[in-house]
Amino acid sequence: MTVESSSAARSTSRRNAGGGKQAARTSRRPKPEPSAESAAGPDMVQLLTPEGERVEHPDYSIEVSAEELRGLYRDMVLTRRFDAEATALQRQGELGLWPSCLGQEAAQIGSGRALRDTDYVFPTYREHGVAWCRGVDPTLLLGMFRGVNHGGWDPNSNNFHLYTIVIGSQTLHAAGYAMGVAKDGADMAVAAYFGDGASSQGDVAESFTFAAVYNAPVVFICQNNQWAISEPTARQTRVPLYRRAQGFGFPGVRVDGNDVLAMLAVTKAAAEHARTGQGPILIEAFTYRMGAHTTSDDPTRYRRKEELEAWEAKDPILRVRRYLDRTGGADDAFYAAIEEESDALGRRVREVIRTMPDPDGMAIFEHVYADGHSLVDEERAGYAAYLASFADHAAHEGN
């Protein structure tokens, strides 16, 4: 008998034995956990179906006027257009990299519009829709991906912190910021965005701990887009992510992340929960990254076309359009105006990026410290002298 066949035989017999035991035990076992990647279920808040039908939820209801709905639709379409432009600009060599938010527009616009201007947001690097809601000029988001800066906007102008690239780090900044908000007695919530991949990071667990024990007003918004580059959510967790909160002592709720109304309703309630001193809360926005992780990624290497197609049927923009069309909430003139506005945004983005200047070389030495540092001063002077030596040389040659 070969080694292989021997081990195969053993494993077969063990499996048989195990199967028998398991069958006998089934009745005494609790119901199996729903798998982390299982989609809709009774636990998932949904107010607008993929078919564009309004449904009720016992805990979350929302009244949205046709005008508000058109506004949400506009936000999502413009975000998608901006995102598509940025992707195209990367392909044309204008950006070094772009992380697309395609498919996550409802998760971002719904949550972003639920927050007040006075709330504070800590994003990952993919929150282009949230940035839009905060009033951050979209072209400001492009600088770091073009390589002219590492952020560049003033976080306090829109209460929207810089994008954070290290996975999960910003959740601790949000928890700390919210600890300060609690000390100040300020009427505000702090939103911490992160993803399914980040949920495995120690910093996210620590941010849950800190936010919980200090009762800090943090709304943790986990966009579970099913993929951390090539790794499915099942590689990050055995339980649905929203249930992580329970172990830390605060509520968690799973929301259909492709449903802008559900995201709006749940985030509004969550922000109110935080603002009214009830501590942190976790929202798991169950959504899908329809594009690649970034423009450097090739998702055909790890996921099937059928999966993408199934999620395309649940497109966050499409379902709002269906609802608007069914209810007569928008007419052709509205869609035409949005189309025109999208084109204009696209033109502006292209123009800004193509005329975006490279920073001056000496910018390397700027803002390293707030109060200065003698080594930076010395190196700045040394490098300036080095550069000047070429000018002197050129002048000499000219003579």
Under the binding rule (CB under 8 A), the answer on residue 250 touching another protein is no
- What helix, strand, coil percent values describe the chain, rounded to 5? 55, 10, 35
Q: Which entry of 70, 244, 273, 293 is annotated as an active-site residue?
A: 293
Taking the C-alpha atoms of residue 52 and residue 270, their distance in angstroms, rounded to an integer, is: 24
- On the 0-12 / 13-18 / 19+ scale of CB atoms within 10 A, 277 is exposed
Q: Which entry of 302, 326, 347, 373 is annotated as an active-site residue?
A: 302
Mapping DSSP to helix (H, G, I), strand (E, B) and coil, where does residue 117 land? coil
Under the binding rule (CB under 8 A), the answer on residue 178 touching another protein is yes
Q: Which of 176, 240, 257, 299 binds another protein (CB under 8 A)?
A: 176
Q: How far is the CB of 144 from another protein (least distance, A)?
A: 8
Under the binding rule (CB under 8 A), the answer on residue 166 touching another protein is yes
Q: How far is the CB of 182 from another protein (least distance, A)?
A: 9
Q: How far is the CB of 192 from another protein (least distance, A)?
A: 10
* Tokens coding 391: 């000018």
Under the binding rule (CB under 8 A), the answer on residue 275 touching another protein is no
* Tokens coding 66: 């046709």
Under the binding rule (CB under 8 A), the answer on residue 360 touching another protein is no
Active site residue 10: no
Q: Which of 49, 139, 169, 278 binds another protein (CB under 8 A)?
A: 169
Q: How far is the CB of 115 from another protein (least distance, A)?
A: 17
Q: How far is the CB of 279 from another protein (least distance, A)?
A: 15
Alpha helices, DSSP H, located in 92-185: 105-114, 128-134, 143-146, 155-158, 169-184
Stretch near another protein under the rule CB under 8 A, chosen from 102-110, 174-182, 232-240, 350-358: 174-182
Under the binding rule (CB under 8 A), the answer on residue 34 touching another protein is no
Q: Which of 160, 210, 248, 250 binds another protein (CB under 8 A)?
A: 210
Under the binding rule (CB under 8 A), the answer on residue 164 touching another protein is yes
Q: Which entry of 113, 289, 319, 323 is annotated as an active-site residue?
A: 289
Q: How far is the CB of 173 from another protein (least distance, A)?
A: 4
Under the binding rule (CB under 8 A), the answer on residue 180 touching another protein is yes
DSSP state letters, 72-103? HHHHHHHHHHHHHHHHHHHHTTS-S-----TT
Nearer to another protein by Cβ, of 64 and 181: the residue is: 181
* Range 362-381, binding another protein (CB under 8 A): 366-371, 373-376
Active site residue 393: no
Under the binding rule (CB under 8 A), the answer on residue 155 touching another protein is yes
Under the binding rule (CB under 8 A), the answer on residue 231 touching another protein is no
Please check whether residue 139 is in contact with residue 353, taking contact to mean a CB–CB distance below 8 angstroms. yes
Residue 73 neighbours by CB under 8 Å, 6+ apart: 317, 320, 321, 324, 330, 338
Q: How does strand 227-228 pair with strand 231-232?
A: antiparallel
Under the binding rule (CB under 8 A), the answer on residue 202 touching another protein is yes
Nearer to another protein by Cβ, of 67 and 184: the residue is: 184
Taking the C-alpha atoms of residue 341 and residue 44, their distance in angstroms, rounded to an integer, is: 34
Q: How far is the CB of 325 from another protein (least distance, A)?
A: 44
Mapping DSSP to helix (H, G, I), strand (E, B) and coil, where does residue 212 land? helix
Stretch near another protein under the rule CB under 8 A, chosen from 166-174, 237-245, 307-315, 328-336: 166-174
Q: How far is CA 162 from CA 34, 74, 233, in A?
A: 36, 25, 26
Active site residue 302: yes
Residue 62 neighbours by CB under 8 Å, 6+ apart: 47, 261, 264, 265, 268
* Count, residues near another protein per rule CB under 8 A: 43
Q: How far is the CB of 340 from another protein (least distance, A)?
A: 34
Taking the C-alpha atoms of residue 159 and residue 291, their distance in angstroms, rounded to an integer, is: 28
Nearest to 222 by CA among 99, 181, 236: 236
Under the binding rule (CB under 8 A), the answer on residue 385 touching another protein is no
Under the binding rule (CB under 8 A), the answer on residue 203 touching another protein is yes
Q: How does strand 231-232 pair with strand 252-256?
A: unpaired
Under the binding rule (CB under 8 A), the answer on residue 217 touching another protein is no
> Terminal CA-to-CA distance of the chain, rounded, Å?
91
Please check whether residue 244 is in contact with residue 211, taking contact to mean a CB–CB distance below 8 angstroms. no
The catalytic residue positions are 289, 293, 302
Where do contacts with another protein occur on this chain (CB under 8 A)? 149-156, 161-162, 164, 166, 169, 171-181, 183-184, 202-203, 206-207, 209-210, 213, 366-371, 373-376
